[in-house]
Amino acid sequence: MLRLISGRIVTSLISLVGASLIAFVLLRLTPGDPARLFLGQFAGEDAVQALRAELGLNGSILSQYWIYMGRFLSGDWGFSYSTGQSVAGLLLARFPATVELGLFAFFFAFVAAVSCALVSVYRRGPVSDGGVRALSFFAQGVPPFWFGLMMLLVFFEGFGWLPGPEGRLGLRIIPPPTVTGLLTVDSLLAGDWTAFKDAIRHLILPAVTLGLMPFGFLYRLLRANLEGITREPFITVARGRGLTRWAAYVRHALPNAFLPTLTAAGLLFGQLLAGSVLVERVFVWPGAGALVTDGVLKQDFSVVQAFILLSAFIYVLTSLVVDILAAMLDPRVAQSQGGGR
């Protein structure tokens, strides 16, 4: 077990070094002077030269990488000239919105995928099965930003049931005092039901849109695992002990189907991260993803570059945590002596 974990940590670290090298090389390939790019076209030559020295751009490529990584790891992610703020400050300020949206999207994807997979495996009927299967193909084939736009067309423009692209709260709602940065949590803490309900109403469409692709992915994975596991003898035996088929599926098949699915949760996280870049803009959601698209629009790539390396770190670390968690939850791995698989 320990060997498994330490081995996994080492490979993750190597991946991160490799990923940062790729990000660094791509950064250096960017046409034009990075210092000029950082400072913008209106900065004076002196300032550019000073920054070049500070960034170590006059040194060897290796020392440049070293300085680049040192700055990144110490939280200095550059300067966004279009906003006049530090990239780290910008991203951190936008992070809670992205996290809240991601959590709700994940919740939607998870609940929908589990119930769809259970029902379609349980019923074994061609109709329910075909319907859910078609839905999963749609979820994996639809461009999320386009889907979000169509949802707005139907539910905001058409029926007027849900708010339009106006961010996290309606204009006339006073935001609750910031504690966690998650509006749903903060409004509950403040006891402000109006704000809470409004925050939820604003979350529905973006969360469904962002969660759609992870839903399709998770559903297909879970379904395949469930289909195999429901054929295992222990399901029949569990029913022979006095569980209904449904209870045997929920209590025995589902937990067993989750284990292999858990290791894929890292991929799911990556989908949410990349999806936030595509979806937030449509709903004018004030998160990190929208910050990236704004940066592209304004040709201010410092934010984009920081986001790219940051997402690699988050992605690799999540996969690592999830792998270790899966190993710990599986008694066959967790309790084996000596570790190695």
Within 8 A by CB and 6+ apart from 139, the residues are 212, 213, 215, 216, 219
Identify the DSSP state of 268: H
For the bound state, the minimum distance from the C-beta of residue 101 to other proteins, rounded and expressed in Å, comes to 16
Strands (E), 130-239: none
**3-state class of 146 per DSSP?**
helix
The residue among 124 and 197 lying less far from other proteins, judged by its C-beta, is 124
Within 8 A by CB and 6+ apart from 236, the residues are none
Point out which residues pair with 80 in neighbouring strands: 85
Position 6 contacts other proteins (CB under 8 A): no
For the bound state, the minimum distance from the C-beta of residue 42 to other proteins, rounded and expressed in Å, comes to 21
Phi-psi region of 9 (alpha: psi -120 to 50; beta: other; left: phi over 0): alpha
For the bound state, the minimum distance from the C-beta of residue 295 to other proteins, rounded and expressed in Å, comes to 9
Site for other proteins in 183-242 (CB under 8 A): 224, 227-228, 231-234, 236-242
Site for other proteins in 151-180 (CB under 8 A): 152-153, 156-157, 164-165
Distance CA 72, CA 312 (A): 13
- Interaction pattern, residues 316-335, with other proteins; x per rule: CB under 8 A: x------------xxxx--x
The residue among 39 and 278 lying less far from other proteins, judged by its C-beta, is 278
The residue among 184 and 319 lying less far from other proteins, judged by its C-beta, is 319
The only residue of 142, 185, 264, 324 in contact with other proteins, by rule CB under 8 A? 142
The residue among 183 and 288 lying less far from other proteins, judged by its C-beta, is 288
Length of the chain: 341
For the bound state, the minimum distance from the C-beta of residue 267 to other proteins, rounded and expressed in Å, comes to 8
Residue type, 57: L
